[in-house]
Structure 1
Amino acid sequence: MLSTLSSLSGRSLSRSTLYENIKTGLFVYILLRQTLKAKRHIQARGLFTTISEIHRWISQEVVLLVLRLPSAKAKVEEEMGKAKLDIENQLVPKGPNVVRHLYLPQEGQSLEWILAEMDKMDQEKDGADWRHGRISGAVYHGGDDIEKIIVAAYQRYCVSNPLHPDIFPAVRKMEAEIVAMCLRMYNNLDGAGTMTSGGTESIIMSMKTHRDWAREVKGVTEPEIIIPSSAHAAFDKGGAYLGIKVHTIPVDPITRKVNLKHVKRAINSNTIMLVGSTINFPDGNQDDIVGLGALAARYKVGLHVDCCLGSFIVPFLEKAGLAGGNVQGKYKLEPFDFRVKGVTAISCDTHKYGFSPKGTSVVMYRDAELRRHQYYVLPDWSGGVYASPSLSGSRPGALIAGTWAAMQYMGDKGYLESCRSIVTCARTIAERITTSIDELYILGSPPASVVAFASSHPQGTINVSIAAVQSFVGRSAK
């Protein structure tokens, strides 16, 4: 009897010990895992930046806690209501002749009525005069002639959908030709790509492609990318959508290029992709793509070059004789396309300086094998085989047709002349600011179509005389 009890007690003790060992092992595993994550984070962001992020997070949590108090909540709702009304008044057409149409009409309206109603809305809201170059960015207009070409192509294919290539083979052909033309512009005869709805989708698709590639080839389950602080917000958006951690690296305040030493320090076994821009959106400068490419090749990770804004400008700078910059060596374009070792993907917006209809872009890959990871295929769906190259299922074939028509209409010569005209204008503005307004200076050495300036005053204030502005405007106009 005693022997049996002793045996049972021993087994119970053994199970208890085993249970405790499992708990201890699990705890150690979680501790080591979280420690490794923290180490990688601090390595990528730096100790002071990490401390700043923790401080900001704590501050936000405290503010959110305070805002839950009834008195604070009521005050916030009141202020938010005022802000919403103010935004609505600024953005929504209003006036004595403008009627808000919140319900379907009982009877369908005529074309004449529809156009007249649009006229009322346009007249009541004072919009920027973009047709005469009175705004910076936002609208990329190739002129009235190309507008007619696009409208004609859109009308012809207004109901087409490349999701059904058997019904609309012409649209699929045009899409393939657009991608092929862009690949050749970026010096890749053997690459592959797809069209998307814009630069944001092109970037997100590249992130998805590199994520799935790294998971299959390298076994990465907690993907991370490394971007400059000047990179487009689409990379952060893609990280939020796709569960990819984004490390943001500061740019040099003088050159406006990303700090390569910091990028190198941030690379770890979870890194799937580096990012560089030619050109970036905030100030029009170019990252060191050759340097980033060397890092990408060395550590066997992807490198996405964001040319959404450079689009149909940077590929033509060399032909236009503008890639070398000016005699002082400023505004020089460095290598950036698929000729650079390490570059695996490039995004190019056709709806910017390609002058195609808004809502079109191209994402390109070094080879078709990498592009394979972008596709989504569901072979056993009850509705049949479902496959799509990008986020959208159905896509407007009319936009593809409009893009193809715009590119055929402009041709190599048209884009070359456009590049020369736009970049010459941008550099004239930069030179005028540099030589005429001592209170301002140009950020970095922008090689293409975007110029940004800042105050040279230590406190960042700008005090430019009216005479200097009038002189600058007058000479620039000439």
Structure 2
Amino acid sequence: MATTAVTTSSRMVTFTVSTARDILARPFSYESAKTLLFFYVVFTNFVKAKRHLRARGVSETVQELYRRILAFGIRLILRLPSKKKFVEQQMGEGKLKVEDKLVPKGPDVVRHLRLPETGQSPEWIIEEMQKMDSEIPGAPKYRQGKLSGAVYHGGEDMEKVIVDAYQRYCVSNPLHPEAFPAVRKMEAEIVAMCLRLYNNPSGAGAMTSGGTESIIMAVKTYRDWARATKGIIEPEMIVPITAHAAFDKGGAYMKVKVHSIPVDPVTRKVDLKRVRRAINPNTILLVGSAINFPDGNQDDITALGELAAKHKIGMHVDCCLGSFIMPFLEPAELSGGENGRYKLEPFDFRVRGVTSISCDTHKYGFAPKGTSVIMYRDADLRRHQYYVNPSWTGGVYASPGLAGSRPGALIAGTWAAMQYMGTSGYLKSCRDIVKCTRSIANAIRTSIPELYVLGSPPASVVAFASKHPLVNIAEVGDAMSRRGWHLNQLQNPPALHIACTRLTVPLDETFVEDLKDAVKEARLAPQGTGTMTQIYGLGTSTVVGPSMVGELAEAFLNSLYKA
């Protein structure tokens, strides 16, 4: 098939070139211009289609086309009055359940929809906040440790360190470094410490508001770098399907085409053959995760780096979730593990071809939420991240990232957290968290035969799916929710994951016992009515399911702003 495609492509190129020569040999006219334009459009679209087909493969391309046609047909059927009424009823119920879960209701709920006539006292404010904390019964309490990720708590002593730093710099703004020199210094030192942690002390970097902004900034950087150095105006990037959705978001924002590449179903590493096949002259960036969010596994960063170096393109490693765990695995002597299952593989700037890395300080760095670091191999690459407007009426405007004004207090809190933890503190937290994660993974493998672990996750996340025909993993998730656990639901394949934190460490045995009971309940007495089951079923039961889930997602976002 590949040989046929190449032969066809060669014939197409030969035909187009010879035709163009014939046209150019004639006296130039309006008709000649139209003909040349026609062949130019045909040829460029043929090249785009060929590259798309090569990256996605014949089977996947046909499936994409089939899904679009089938979805269009089903949408037409759903316009029939009887079907439309049924769908609207189901969607209405789903949206109402999403809203009920987020927005407190009842006669005792006080809503603050306008400014008070006079300012309230500090005591009143604290009391009102305490009321809000208890308005929705059953909401997960993160201090109980039954929350997957979300809150990377460093302990009450760390809270005090961060709050003290925040209070000292609560009105500071790094946009004006001359007014807040200490904040500027702390930000530079945070970046320097992270660069050393990832073995590139002479590199360059910047702080952002979180992993999503770090990733979007990387996409923007490579887009502008490729345009400036290679003249690429239709950029493309290649990411594993397990890469964070922020890459798709970055592609949408920055107008970069995204090729999502499957992963090996056993190892959960990206398919390198498919990556190799997807690379073309418009490729600006390859992506690998260490570790990925869905199942906590690591891509083959060394092989991806070699491909990037060979084709002279960017290579970004998403270490947002790996953050202050991955760099400490080796010094904490956590490579290898049981039967060598957790072999430590290279992932940082020591790998040839790696040109940038994102690391979330607000995860396992225990810094305040809203902080991350994007690192580059050198300052020449980082300059493409900057935005500079030299002719604005208000003066020369320059910013390193998306934001203009930024909260210097978060930078101060991050600096304080990193100083408070130190190398020894991060080594200890790495050992504790990773041992907890592996304890859970090993228990699932050895004592819960209905489930299996996805891949061999080396760090802080373990994902598990059902291998028993009578055990629906979404039912397991609902049963775990009833036991107070707040886990992440995955799809393709359907699975659950837990991102272990310091709060999870003393609860590893409790988690395993609750999981055993949840599996038994899902197998013997499935309810089929839980929130996870409904959303999961809606997303996969029909071709138009994803669009309906999109509507539910919009309802979720709308509910966030419903007072």
Query: What is the TM-score with the length of structure 2 in the denominator?
Result: 0.78
Percentage of pairs with the same residue: 69
Structure-to-structure mapping, 1:65-104, within 5 angstroms: 79-104=90-115
Asked if 1:155 is matched to 2:167, the reply is: yes
Shift of 1:119: 1.1
The verdict on how the C-alpha distance between 1:382 and 1:414 changes in structure 2, with shifts beyond 3 A counting, is same
Asked if 1:124 is matched to 2:135, the reply is: yes
Q: 1:8 is matched with which residue?
A: none
Q: Residues 240 and 260 of structure 2 are in contact (CA less than 8 Å); yes or no, is this contact kept in structure 1? A: yes
Q: Residues 97 and 120 of structure 1 are in contact (CA less than 8 Å); yes or no, is this contact kept in structure 2? A: no
Q: Residues 95 and 124 of structure 1 are in contact (CA less than 8 Å); yes or no, is this contact kept in structure 2? A: no
Shift of 1:335: 0.2
Q: 2:308 is matched with which residue?
A: 296
**Aligned AA for 1:426?**
T
Question: Which residue among 248, 268, 277 is the counterpart of 1:256?
Answer: 268
* Bigger shift: residues 92-101 or 448-457: 92-101
Structure-to-structure mapping, 1:448-467, within 5 angstroms: 448-457=459-468, 461=472
* Bigger shift: residues 260-269 or 90-99: 90-99
The verdict on how the C-alpha distance between 1:74 and 1:383 changes in structure 2, with shifts beyond 3 A counting, is farther
Structure-to-structure mapping, 1:26-175, within 5 angstroms: 26-64=37-75, 79-126=90-137, 127-175=139-187
Shift of 1:105: 1.8
Structure-to-structure mapping, 1:428-467, within 5 angstroms: 428-457=439-468, 461=472
Cα distance in 2, alignment partners of residues 397 and 176 from structure 1 = 12
Shift of 1:457: 2.7
Q: Residues 94 and 121 of structure 1 are in contact (CA less than 8 Å); yes or no, is this contact kept in structure 2? A: no
Shift of 1:129: 2.1
SS at 1:146 equivalent: helix
Structure-to-structure mapping, 1:313-324, within 5 angstroms: 313-323=325-335
The verdict on how the C-alpha distance between 1:267 and 1:474 changes in structure 2, with shifts beyond 3 A counting, is closer
Q: Residues 450 and 471 of structure 2 are in contact (CA less than 8 Å); yes or no, is this contact kept in structure 1? A: no
Cα distance in 2, alignment partners of residues 272 and 474 from structure 1 = 46
The structure that has the greater radius of gyration is 1
Cα distance in 2, alignment partners of residues 210 and 66 from structure 1 = 44
**Unaligned 5+ runs, structure 1:** 1-14
**Unaligned 5+ runs, structure 2:** 1-25, 481-508, 517-563
Shift of 1:61: 3.8
SS at 2:221 equivalent: helix
Cα distance in 2, alignment partners of residues 94 and 169 from structure 1 = 47
The verdict on how the C-alpha distance between 1:185 and 1:216 changes in structure 2, with shifts beyond 3 A counting, is same
- Cα deviation 1:243-290 (Å, max 9, x = unaligned): 000000000000000010110000000000000000000000000000
Question: Which residue among 200, 212, 217 is the counterpart of 1:188?
Answer: 200
Shift of 1:84: 2.9
Number of equivalences: 459
**Aligned AA for 1:389?**
P
Cα distance in 2, alignment partners of residues 129 and 114 from structure 1 = 21
Q: Residues 175 and 404 of structure 1 are in contact (CA less than 8 Å); yes or no, is this contact kept in structure 2? A: yes
Structure-to-structure mapping, 1:351-366, within 5 angstroms: 351-366=362-377
**Aligned AA for 1:231?**
A
**Aligned AA for 2:237?**
I
SS at 1:451 equivalent: strand
**Aligned AA for 2:241?**
S
Q: 1:423 is matched with which residue?
A: 434
The verdict on how the C-alpha distance between 1:168 and 1:29 changes in structure 2, with shifts beyond 3 A counting, is same
Pairwise CA RMSD: 2.4
Cα distance in 1, alignment partners of residues 275 and 116 from structure 2 = 57
Cα distance in 2, alignment partners of residues 133 and 96 from structure 1 = 31
Question: Which residue among 310, 314, 322 is the counterpart of 1:310?
Answer: 322
Q: Residues 454 and 463 of structure 2 are in contact (CA less than 8 Å); yes or no, is this contact kept in structure 1? A: yes
**Aligned AA for 2:264?**
D
Shift of 1:59: 3.4
Shift of 1:75: 5.9
Asked if 1:240 is matched to 2:252, the reply is: yes
Shift of 1:406: 0.5
Q: 1:202 is matched with which residue?
A: 214
